Amino acid sequence: MLFGSVEIGLRVALAISFAKIIIQSLRPQVEGLGRLQGTNIFCSVKQYPVACRTPAVQVIRIDTSFLYFINATFIKKRIMEWVRAEVDTSNEKVGERVHSVFLDMSNVVNIDTSELVGLEEIHKELASLGIQMAIASPGWQAIQKMKLAHVVDRIGEDWIFLTVGEAVEGCLTAHKGSAMEC
């Protein structure tokens, strides 16, 4: 009797673990990042409330290893929700209009063609709003696939950065006169 219940418990735990992994793959975290004061470190504003956002810049991290057809629509939708909410908020504040969105892809190991198309669609939607898109910290495989699909050409090689800090500094330099508060 004891072994039967342990075996059932292990099966249930295994099923729950697999279900959790599948759900996280289908609906990965997409979160806003802020700069820790006095540093060039960007982290989740949910996890670190002291992290402050850079005015006129929206930094978004995609927390998944694989960008592929199953989660492409969800990620695109979440990113555009973040951007629209930020644009609506910044339009109310004079001088803080969002002019750049950075996608932190440091966790992304691989990307498929449907997500490459999704990145192009995000870029087009942002461009129609007058917002520049940049990509920070893409993995080697991801950047190679973006180059082969000419996504890098469409975004612009100058808008692909090794770190989020470099991306923000490059953007603020390009938009001279934008003050950096952190």
Which pLDDT does position 92 carry in this prediction? 63
Residues lower than pLDDT 50 in the chain: 1-2, 178-182
Which pLDDT does position 176 carry in this prediction? 63
Which pLDDT does position 24 carry in this prediction? 76
Which pLDDT does position 178 carry in this prediction? 46
For domain 29-174, which CATH number applies: 2.40.37.10, 3.30.750.24, 3.40.50.720, 3.20.20.70? 3.30.750.24
37, 50, 86, 88 from 107: Cα distances, Å: 23, 23, 23, 28
Which pLDDT does position 23 carry in this prediction? 79
Which pLDDT does position 146 carry in this prediction? 92
> pLDDT tens for residues 125-134?
999 988 999 9
pTM, whole model, 2 decimals? 0.78
Quick count: other Cβ atoms within 10 Å of Cβ 153?
10
Cα distance between residue 169 and residue 55, in whole Å? 12
At which residue do the structure tokens 């910044």 appear? 90
* Contact status, residue 88 vs residue 98, Cβ threshold 8 Å: no
**Nearest C-alpha neighbor of 69 from the set 25, 15, 35, 109:** 25
Q: Where are the domains of the chain?
A: 29-174
Which pLDDT does position 27 carry in this prediction? 79
